[in-house]
Amino acid sequence: MQFTQLGRSGLKVSRLCLGTMNFGPETSEPDSFKIMDAALERGINFFDTANVYGRKISLGFTEEIIGRWLEQGGGRREKIVLATKVYGGMGDGANDGRLSAYHIRNACEASLKRLKTDHIDLYQMHHVDRNTPWEEIWQAMEWLVAQGMVTYVGSSNFAGWHIAQANEAAKSRHFMGLVSEQSIYHLNNRQIELEVIPACRSYGLGLIPWSPLAGGLLGGVLQKIAEGRRSSEAIQARVEKHRPQLEAYEALCKDLNETPADVALAWLLHNPVVTAPIIGPRTLEQLDGNLKSLEVKLDDASLKKLDEIFPGPGGEAPEAYAW
C-alpha cells in the first residue's frame, strides 16, 4: 500500500480511502466486517463514513456497523484513520441538522457513541451552511478538538470560495482550519478543476474524490452490458448520453491492457492535489480489483488521450474562460 500526507497535515493515510456508504443498505453487516478486515489487511488505513449513511434502514446505521466492528478489538481502532461527517438532518427537531454549534456538538457526541470510540480523526462538514457564521462553526470545532473528541477538520462539497472563507476565518482565530475537501470528481465531471482544486492547493487541503467511477459509468459499463449484466434505467440513460465517449474510453483501456476502473482511479491518483479517491466496494472482489489501480502508471500520451475523450473545463479559473 502507498501512503501520503493528508493535505498539509502530518497525518499519513493510504492512497485509497474505504467508503462505507453501502454498509447496511447494500452490504450486510457480516460482509461489511469482511470488507473492513480485508481492507486493513491490505494496508488501507483510511475509512470514511457519515452520520446519515444507512438511512434506508435507520439514520446512523452505517456508523453503528463500524462501531460494532471496532468493538471487536484487536487494535482495529488504533490502526485506522476514522473520518465521518456532520450536517445532514438526524431528526425532526429544529436543530437536528446543519452546522450550528449546538448541532455540531450533539452530532459529534452521537457519532462517537455509534462508532464506539472516544475520538474522530477527521470530522468533515458534509455541506456548507450559509446560515451559520464561521466564528460559530470554528468555536464549536475548537471545543471538540480541545476536548480530544476530534483531531482534524475537513469539508465536503465546498466551493473554492467556501474553502477560502473557512480557512481565513480559522487563521484569524489561530486555528488550523480545514485539512481536506471531499468533492465529486472523476473523468466525466471535472468542474472542480476551475476553483476547488486551486483552492485546495493554495490552502494545503488534501482532495478526497467521491464517486471516482461516476456511479459505475467508468467501470467498464459497456463491456458489462455486452456480457448481459442488467443495469438500471438511470444508468442506461447515462450510457446512451455518453456512449461515444465511453466507447473511446473503453477502447483506450483495452489498448493499455488495463481495466476501465483502474484507469479512472489512476487518473485521479496522478493529480498531486488528490490524497485518496474513495472506493465503495460492495464485495471483496471489488475491493481487490480497486487495489490494482495503485500499480497503473499513465504516460503523457495516455493522459492526453483521456483529456480528449473527457475534456475538462479548460484549466483553472479565470484563465479557463477569460484572458
Q: Which of 53, 123, 203, 249 is catalytic?
A: 53
H, E, C per residue of 4-34: EECCCCCCEEECCEEECCCECCCECHHHHHH
Residue type, 103: H
What is d(CA 46, CA 67) in angstroms, rounded to the nearest whole number? 15
Measured between alpha carbons, how far is 241 from 107 in angstroms, rounded to an integer?
40
Burial of 230 (0-12, 13-18, 19+ CB in 10 A): exposed
Which of 288, 141, 265 is closest to 208 using CA atoms?
Answer: 265
Task: Answer for the pair 155, 162: CB distance below 8 angstroms, yes or no.
Answer: yes
Q: Which DSSP symbol is given to 189?
A: B
Catalytic residue check, 53: yes
120 forms beta bridges with 150
CA distance 102 to 208: 27
Active-site annotation, residues: 53
